[in-house]
Amino acid sequence: MSLIRSPHVIRLEASHARNDEIFIIMELAESGSIADLIKERKDLSSRFDEDDLWRCLVQVFCLSIIIVKLLLQIIIELAGEREHLLI
């Protein structure tokens, strides 16, 4: 999970699967989430410029890569523990 190192991308700290639950521990976003930023802009009646939108999209894209990689890793681990894995 250490492929992405950037001050603009929240790191995955740890993950754990138990029964039918997946726990994902992420780095704290001290400046808030993208949802917080959207709400703040809405409250101020301020629009995003193109650079802001690209920064948000890159963060969402990077997070989706991390989550897909994590889920694949969990599926592979579960498949090794069970004879048949139904997805």
Q: How many domains does the chain have?
A: 1
pLDDT tens digits, one per residue of 31-81: 777 788 788 888 888 888 888 788 778 878 877 888 888 888 878 877 776
Does 86 reside within a domain? Answer: no
Cα–Cα distance for residue pair 70/76, rounded to 1 Å: 10
Kindly give, in sequence order, each residue whose CB lies less than 8 Å from that of residue 30, ignoring residues fewer than 6 positions away. Answer: none
Which residue range(s) make up the domain with 65?
A: 12-81
> Structure tokens of 73?
């890793």
Residues 23/15, Cβ–Cβ less than 8 Å: yes
Residue 72, domain member (yes or no): yes
**What average pLDDT does range 78-85 have in this prediction?**
64
Q: What pLDDT is stored for residue 30 in this prediction?
A: 74
Q: How many CB atoms lie within 10 A of CB 79?
A: 12
Is residue 87 predicted with pLDDT exceeding 60? no
Burial of residue 36 (CB within 10 Å: 0-12, 13-18, 19+) is exposed
pLDDT of residue 79: 75
Distance CA 6, CA 57 (A): 15
pLDDT value at 1 more than 50? no
- Is residue 4 in some structural domain? no
